[in-house]
Amino acid sequence: MITEPRIPDPDGFYAALLAAHEGLGEAQSADLNARLVLLLANQCGDQAVLLACIRAAAEDPTTTTTP
């Protein structure tokens, strides 16, 4: 799983993501996120990486300890 930033224009990407959610209700926004996750997962195509990403995203950052 790659965790280093690789998006050339992260601020532009974030702005586009926010713009895609403009005017949507909570359910529509959740549906958009679900579709986006599935499209990006398909682009990756590596199930082991995808499962590692699910585990990493599901970790509670408030309980993570640092050495």
CA 23 and chain centroid, separation: 20
The tens digit of pLDDT for each residue in 6-21 reads: 999 999 999 999 999 9
Please report which confidence band the pLDDT of residue 60 belongs to, taking 50, 70 and 90 as the band edges: confident
Question: Which structural domain range is residue 41 located in?
Answer: 27-60
Q: Considering the domain boundaries, does residue 4 fall inside one?
A: no
Q: What is the Cα–Cα distance from 39 to 61, expressed in whole angstroms?
A: 26
Enumerate helices (H) and strands (E) in the chain, giving the number of each.
Answer: 3, 0
User: Is residue 36, in this structure, part of any structural domain at all?
Assistant: yes
Count of domains observed in the chain: 1
Residue 17 lies in a domain: no
Q: Per-residue pLDDT for 66 more than 90?
A: no
pLDDT of 29 over the 80 cut: yes
* Dist CA 32 CA 49 (whole Å): 22
Overall size of the chain counted in residues: 67
Q: Considering the entire predicted model, what is its pTM?
A: 0.80
